[in-house]
Amino acid sequence: MLQLLNSIAVNFLLLAEGDLGLIAIGAGIALLAGLGAGIGMGIATGKTTEAISRQPEMEGKLRTTLMIGLVFMEMIAIFGVFIAILLATRVIG
């Protein structure tokens, strides 16, 4: 879902050849990717904490899997914010 939002924002960047309204909409959509990633990280962390409390012996494997997932979610969030900044600089500049 977040990759879809980022690709929509990139398409707005390509389609909006000077139309500031479309650029602003694209920047907003790109920021939604960051919001979604933050919500996803919170849910993943909560579920991992529940799993560790139920099976403490699996803590190492659960933590490793959680960290890999969080890295990918954070990468999508950073990419979304980067696209939003690129779009905002086109509006300002």
pLDDT tens profile 6-62: 676 666 666 656 667 777 777 777 788 888 888 989 999 999 999 999 999 999 999
With 0.85 as the threshold, say if the pTM is over it: no
Banded pLDDT at 63 (limits 50, 70, 90): very high
Statement: 2-92 belongs to CATH 1.20.20.10: yes
Mean pLDDT of 63-82: 89
Banded pLDDT at 3 (limits 50, 70, 90): low
Nearest Cα to Cα of residue 90 among 11, 4, 21, 1 = 21
Q: Buried b vs exposed e over 26-51: b needs ≥16 C-beta within 10 Å?
A: bbebbbbbbebbeebbeeeeeebeeb
Question: How many residues appear in the chain?
Answer: 93
